[in-house]
Amino acid sequence: MEIIKCKSYRDLSLQVGIDIEYQVSRNSKLVLGLATGSTPKGVYEYLKSSTVDFSEVRTFNLDEYVGLEPEFNSRLKGKKGYGVPKHKQSYYYFMNEHLFNEVKFKRSFFPGESQSDTYDSLIDACGGIDIQILGIGTNGHIAFNEPGTSRDSLTHVVDLTENTIKDNSRFFDSIDEVPKQATTMGIESIMRAKQIYLLANGKHKKDILEKACYGDITSDIPASYLQEHKNIKVLYCD
Ligand code: PGA
């Protein structure tokens, strides 16, 4: 693991954004693994200002709520209205708001739009993920891989805990509207990426990041599996 302390969130976002831009300029058919959450927003902001052509780049998101998957109309491919988010809290809506409305990619995939067990095959068929962006939860989760997830997990459906459902209910009109499940890339799916950026912004992530990077490799802290990845950079800032 290469661990880099950044001066600021802006610095962190620029380092990752510039590298993605550089790699796309060398390989226009790059495959990106994308994450939602507050941490990658700065990277997406940078990419929105890029003059590099992303139109041959394909993207795979880490996770999506079950029932809120985007709908794609293949007849409108490349045109307005091609992908329709089902809900403002869907991760597809988030990606539209923070990236896709301004940066045009060849195609963007979300787990759950096909059977979860074919998502990994779809990634393989596209040549695998070249660069995977990851955030980390304060309990050490990566994507929806909560503590206890096995190292060899592929894309799968997870039941959200009562806690997560309660926490997320503030974003919905009522708690009954909160999805009870999500589809997530598994640990093995993530480990197959050729390069990984693990990003952490803020003091509240410091403890867990230290455990993930320097502690035992354990399913109690799913991010600790990343220690075994051959090409991973961890960028963090206070
Ligand atoms: P955050 O979420 O980027 O909003 O901190 C990260 C995560 O929980 O995976």
pLDDT in tens, 120-164: 999 999 999 999 999 999 999 999 999 999 999 999 999 988 878
CA of 182 to the centre of ligand 1 (A): 15
DSSP-derived 3-state class of residue 211 = helix
Q: Which of 116, 120, 72 is nearest to 92 (CA)?
A: 72
63 as an active site residue: the answer is yes
42 Cβ closer than 6 Å to some ligand 1 atom? no
- Average pLDDT of span 53-76: 87
CA angle, 222 then 225 then 230, to 5°: 145
Mutate-to-test residue for ligand 1 from 39, 43, 207, 209, highest number of ligand atoms within 8 A of CB: 39
pLDDT mean across residues, the chain: 93
pLDDT of residue 115: 65
137 Cβ closer than 6 Å to some ligand 1 atom? yes
Alpha helices in the chain (DSSP H): 9-26, 41-48, 91-95, 116-125, 162-168, 187-191, 206-214
pLDDT of residue 168: 82
Question: Catalytic residue among 139, 159, 204, 210, which?
Answer: 139
CA angle, 85 then 200 then 153, to 5°: 65
CA of 141 to the centre of ligand 1 (A): 9
39 Cβ closer than 6 Å to some ligand 1 atom? yes
Give the global pTM.
0.92
Whole-angstrom CA distances from 9 to 18, 20, 48, 223 are 14, 17, 17, 21
